[in-house]
Amino acid sequence: MTPSWTRWARAIAVGAVSLTMVAACSGSSTRGGSDAGGQVTLRINFWGDFGLDQLKSRYEAANPNVRIVLNSGEYNAQHEDLQKKLVAGSGAADIAAIDEGFMVQFRSQSDNFVNLLDKGAASYESRYLPWKWKQSLSADGKTQIALGTDVGGLAMCYRTDLFAAAGLPTDRDQVSALWPTWDAFLEVGKDYTAKTGKKFIDSGTNLFNPILGQQPTGFYNEQDQLQMEGGPKVAFDYTVKALQAGISANLTSFQTDWNRGFTSGSFAALACPAWMLGHIKETAPSTEGKWDIAAIPGGGGNWGGSFLTIPKQSKHVDEAYKLLEWLIQPEQQIEVFKQVGNLPSQPALYADPAITEFTNPFFSDAPVGQIFPKMAQGLTPQYLGRRNGPTRVAVENVIGRVQNNTLKAEAAWAEAVKAAEKAATS
């Protein structure tokens, strides 16, 4: 034995001891899941407001052994967090919400989610809008990773006070009649801007997305090949035309200036999926009664809509499924609709008086229970490719460059195609 060898042995021994200490420390901090006495804690991760606050206490009262923890976060951050937890192998919530825009990404990792068909979810298929059911179903039809909550039927929200000031009609039927097509909408916008000197809409991207949603095809075909010449070109050309007409306030959605715009009147109209109603009410409570809802030009359309999944990491799959099943029952879905405006994705409910007769006082008593279902029903939704999210961001960025005058409108389309192609392959 040489001295240097013993020194190594010593170092290793000390290392091993310390490692055990570290391990011991981390071992004691296991996450609380099931507590003593059969108590089960279920965590639900989502973003914004899913209208779950009251449902939570009702469910807990009926099931004394269950405690529900609601964890609301930022939209993108929640999806990213879920993705990280799936890679890491632990830490995901018992029920994780996923938006339509991220569904393709997570559907391709269906191994990480509980197959709800094994739990008996197949009986719910007939209740759902067929396309909603299919969005979260694996390609071979054998794995259903999620049950849908809401869909984002599209309408157009507008400020009645600003419309009146510009000499435009304020009644929702008359307003709807003003813009049967997007071209007519552009004319109304020009008229408004000329009369008031103010901008008409919030941003170019919030024209691009709804118009793209109305086209028969999106960025990708069913073979997941990029096809910019179809729907994207129609939506992009119109957006650029609107930007050149100078009717856009060029704000970025969900940013401070945009949120402030709801109150300050930086814009008078914006495309409004059902879930946007809750956002407007929350960010601009002082504008109660100044909003109304008209039909969107071009008829129908969908923007967003969510699903609830159970990651396989959950330690209480059975309890989680029980809760999930309860949440998508008609009674609860109607309750959510009344609370925050999220439109259920089960068409049978659209005929339910609780929905058809519901009006939203914040939006001048608009009959939202009739407006939004109409938009959601007659819809043939697009196929959203695997790279849909990044492609959309890339094209939105090109629109942003037109908005801040660093890109000429004439060169924009070529640039958009280039950016989309890059996003498709990155």
Residue 98: how many CA atoms within 13 Å on its side-chain side? 30
Site for another protein in 101-140 (CB under 8 A): 104-105, 108-109, 111
Structure tokens at 157: 């929200």
Contact criterion met (CB below 8 Å) for 395 and 236: yes
345 near another protein, judged by CB under 8 A = no
Q: Which is nearer to another protein, 123 or 223 (CB)?
A: 223
Q: Are 261 and 158 in contact (CB under 8 A)?
A: no
* 160-168 own/partner pairs: CB under 8 Å, 24+ apart: 160/290, 160/291, 160/292, 160/364, 161/290, 162/196, 162/198, 162/265, 162/268, 163/192, 163/268, 165/196, 166/191, 166/192, 166/195, 166/196, 166/268, 167/195, 168/192
Task: Kindly state the smallest distance separating residue 398's Cβ from another protein, in Å.
Answer: 7
Taking the least distance from each CB to another protein, the nearer of 13 and 69 is 13
Q: Is 259 in the site for another protein (CB under 8 A)?
A: no
One character per residue 47-86, x = contact with another protein (rule: CB under 8 A) = ---------------------------xxxx--x--xx--
Tell which one of 277, 398, 416, 417 touches another protein (CB under 8 A): 398
Size of the site for another protein (CB under 8 A): 47
Dist. CA 209–CA 354, nearest whole Å = 31
Residue 191 one-letter amino acid:
D
Tokens of 209: 């997305």
List the structure tokens of 268.
């008078």
Radius of gyration in angstroms for the set of CA atoms belonging to the chain, rounded to a whole number: 25
| 24 touching another protein, by CB under 8 A | no
Q: What stretch of H or E contains 346?
A: none
122 or 422, CB closer to another protein? 422
Q: Which of 29, 139, 404, 410 binds another protein (CB under 8 A)?
A: 404
- State the nearest-atom distance from the C-beta of 276 to another protein, in Å: 17
Please say which residue, 102 or 363, places its beta carbon nearer to another protein: 102
By CB under 8 A, residue 263 contacts another protein = no
| Contact flag: residue 90 with another protein (CB under 8 A) | no
For another protein, the closer CB: 40 or 276: 276
User: Which residue in 311, 313, 321, 377 sits closest to 344, CA to CA?
Assistant: 377
Q: Which stretch binds another protein (CB under 8 A): 49-57, 171-179, 214-222, 248-256?
A: 248-256
29 near another protein (CB under 8 A): no
Among 10, 142, 195, 408, contact with another protein (rule: CB under 8 A): 10
Q: Quick check: 1 binds another protein (CB under 8 A)?
A: yes
**Residue from 8, 19, 195, 378 in contact with another protein (CB under 8 A):** 19
Q: Is residue 41 a contact point for another protein (CB under 8 A)?
A: no
Smallest distance, Å, CB 24 to another protein? 13
Per CB under 8 A, the list member of 52, 228, 336, 407 interacting with another protein is 407
Phi first, then psi: give them for residue 315, nearest 5 degrees. -90, -5
Residue 53 · residue 72 · CB < 8 Å: no
Residue 253 binds to another protein (criterion: CB under 8 A): yes
Minimum distance, C-beta of residue 396 to another protein, in the bound complex (Å): 8
Pick from 62, 87, 139, 351: which binds another protein (CB under 8 A)? 87
The distance of closest approach from Cβ of residue 82 to another protein in the complex, given in angstroms and rounded to an integer, is 11
DSSP per residue, 252-319: PTTSHHHHHHHHHTS-SEEEEETTHHHHHHHH-GGGTTSEEEEPPTTS--B---EEEE-BTT-S-HHH
Neighbours of 36 (CB within 10 A): 5
Could you list the residues that contact another protein (CB under 8 A)? 1-3, 6, 10-11, 14-15, 17-19, 22, 74-77, 80, 83-84, 87, 104-105, 108-109, 111, 252-257, 386, 389-390, 393, 396-398, 400-401, 404-407, 422-423, 426
